[in-house]
Amino acid sequence: MILVPQTDVHADGGSEDPSKATPLSSRTVRIPQTVRTNQRARLRQPPGIAATVSQKPTPSPLWTFLLLGLVFCLLDFAYIFKFVMDDRFYDGPQPTPLVDRNNTRVPGKSDFLMQAPLMPDLADDENDRSRDESEDTQEDVKSDAEDSEEADMPSTQEKQKDTAGVKPALRKNVPNHDVETPAFHVDFDPLSESSHILNLLHEAGVELNAETYARLPQWSDVTALYGSKPVFVGLESCKRFQSMGIAADHFVSVAGTFNTGTNALSENLIANCHMPKRIKKYGARNRGVRWQVNWGKHTPVGDEQFRQGHRTYNTTDPSLATDNIFPGVAIRDPYKWMQSMCRHEYGARWRHDKSRHCPNLVPNNEDRAAFPVLRPLNVTSVPVRVVYAEFERHHASLAHFWNDWYQEYVNATFPRLLVRFEDLVFHPQLVTKTVCECAGGEMNKRPFKYIVESAKVGSAHGPEKAKTSYVDAIVKYGTEKSRYDAVWLQIP
């Protein structure tokens, strides 16, 4: 007989003696339905596992991470398709900025801005803009659409009426049309002395004020110094370069000694020129414009073995051979050039005190008193030592340095084209077009882009106040004034 313990739970929490047992046959025990269900569930559990309350499975962190990664990949592909693969972002083969110099969107164009230094054919190296020559600053001319949009803007009173009680939003680089400023008006006469210069500044998008206008030179002053047309040396070598090797592997690049406008020439080529055959072979990002020549833009070319073997670019590109690079060589008025060398010597070393006598081609009493090496009477000039990456050059004076450096390019047997920096200032489109087409390139279809701000950026080029913008260059090189200036203090 089976005995079942009987326990009666009372309301006061007590119970009867559990030791008393009653035969099963004489008493019926009712087992609740939930207890029977739990017992069946325990019987179905594997041995050693207790029955637990049913719970929902917890997602694995790995799956959560993979799901987030998939979402980011889809967003990345959408961005590439929208902002990179869309042909509307490219007006011609050269992906240059489509915003103005204030980073304001040009109406009807994209806000996408592709920086020129990121182009494969614009790689930097140890001697280029990252150290000695700074990064580019490209300026866009305001489009006619911008002008028409500004012309259709409501008046100040209408704006105040429409926006009464509304807090204005802060928009960076957007002109405040609510502030009235006195306008400076210039009566443009195509036959006037200043018409050519005014037209340059208008095309460059430079806004004149009375002070700037008063500083501008007359065109007759410019032509008296440099003539009415640019001067080129080496045009006969253009066709020879275009017929050399494989045209699709050709580059156009820049050379010139320190302080001769190599940055400005590079920026103009980068902003306005491309090599169509190279683009056809390697794609639109390979425009065939290099910031400097393979052997170093400031390096003299008298040693042909060094020119052929030296590499300023860390690349294994087989097309980047010395003979595939066409150099546009910038040359500058030696008088102005020597003044710039006094302000910033770069790799040149010579005995001088820029606060007392510079440029000092011939030592005076001040120089001899300050530098013992110049005291002997047989020292008739101040020698110059120029330090390059792998060698040095010695010249009899600063003027000899200028002559010796450019004479090697004049006598060179390889194709090259020498251009005057002053011609780049007053004939930027013609000079840029001539260098570009001489190398086999083509000008971009969009309007010419002027380099308005200083092409020299960074502390390697001295203080900001010493750098020259486009307007400053026109004023500085447009007249003979200050051409022969020098610091000259003579002592007994």
pLDDT band with cut points at 50, 70 and 90 for residue 137: very low
Q: How far apart are CA 466 and CA 484, in angstroms?
A: 18
Task: Give the pLDDT score at 486.
Answer: 73
195 vs 116, which has greater pLDDT? 195
Burial of residue 37, with CB atoms counted within 10 A of its CB: 0-12 exposed, 13-18 middle, 19 or more buried: exposed
Q: How far is CA 369 from the centre of its chain?
A: 46
Residue 391 has pLDDT above 80, yes or no: yes
Residue 129 has pLDDT above 70, yes or no: no
Q: How far is CA 99 from the centre of its chain?
A: 14
Which stretch of 51-55, 63-67, 467-471 has the lowest confidence by average pLDDT?
51-55
Residue 441 has pLDDT above 70, yes or no: yes
Task: Kindly provide the b/e burial profile for residues 435-470, where b requires at least 16 CB atoms within 10 angstroms of the residue's own CB.
Answer: bbebbbbbbbebebbbbbbbbbbeeebeeeeebbeb
Q: Look up tokens 């979402």; give the residue.
A: 71
Residue 235 has pLDDT above 90, yes or no: yes
Task: Report which listed range, 59-63, 74-78, 101-105, 347-351, is most confident.
Answer: 347-351
Task: Give the pLDDT score at 61.
Answer: 77
Task: Give the pLDDT score at 59.
Answer: 63
Residue 231 has pLDDT above 90, yes or no: yes
Let me know: does 462 contact 132? Beta carbons within 8 Å.
Answer: no
Task: Give the pLDDT score at 132.
Answer: 37
130 vs 376, which has greater pLDDT? 376
Task: Give the pLDDT score at 58.
Answer: 63
Q: Which residue type does 322 have?
A: T
Q: What is the pTM of this model?
A: 0.63
Task: Give the pLDDT score at 88.
Answer: 37
Task: Give the pLDDT score at 74.
Answer: 83
Which residues share a beta bridge with 327? 253
Task: Give the pLDDT score at 487.
Answer: 63
Burial of residue 99, with CB atoms counted within 10 A of its CB: 0-12 exposed, 13-18 middle, 19 or more buried: middle
Q: Look up tokens 């990949």; give the residue.
A: 73
**For 145-165, what is the mean pLDDT?**
36
Helix or strand (DSSP H, E) at 487: strand 487-488
